[in-house]
Amino acid sequence: MIRRQTKFTIFQPTVHFSGSAKHLIIYRLDELLCTTCFPLKIKKGVPIIPTKPTTSDKTLYFNFVYKKDKKKWRLKQIPVVFYTTSERDYWHSLIDTTLRRVKNRPKNIIIFINPFGGKGKAQKIFKDNVEAFFWLTPGLRYKVMLTERANHARDFIVEMPPEQWTALDGL
Cα angle value 68/73/74 (rounded, 5°): 80
> CATH number, domain at 150?
3.40.50.10330
Phi and psi of 6, rounded to 5°?
A: -85, 130
- Where is the domain boundary, 73, 104, 135? 104
Are 141 and 68 part of one and the same domain? no
pLDDT tens per residue, range 145-168: 898 988 888 888 888 887 777 666
Q: Residue 82, CB half-sphere, CA atoms under 13 Å: how many? A: 17
Give me the pLDDT at residue 2, please.
41
pLDDT tens per residue, range 76-133: 898 888 999 999 999 999 999 988 988 888 888 888 888 887 788 888 888 888 888 8
Residue 17 belongs to domain spanning: 1-104
Q: Is 44 left (phi over 0), alpha (psi -120 to 50) or beta?
A: left
**DSSP class of 56:** -
Are 9 and 86 part of one and the same domain? yes
Are 37 and 61 a contacting pair, CB within 8 Å?
Answer: yes
Give me the pLDDT at residue 61, please.
92
- Dihedral of CA 68/45/55/137: which sign? positive
Nearest CA-CA partner of 13 in 1, 25, 30: 25
Cβ neighbourhood burial of 88 (10 Å; 0-12, 13-18, 19+)? buried
Are 94 and 109 a contacting pair, CB within 8 Å?
Answer: no
Give me the pLDDT at residue 166, please.
66
Residue 7 has pLDDT above 60, yes or no: no
Cα angle value 147/47/125 (rounded, 5°): 25
pLDDT tens per residue, range 21-80: 556 667 777 788 999 999 988 888 888 887 877 777 899 999 998 887 877 788 889 888
Are 67 and 130 part of one and the same domain? no
Are 72 and 5 part of one and the same domain? yes
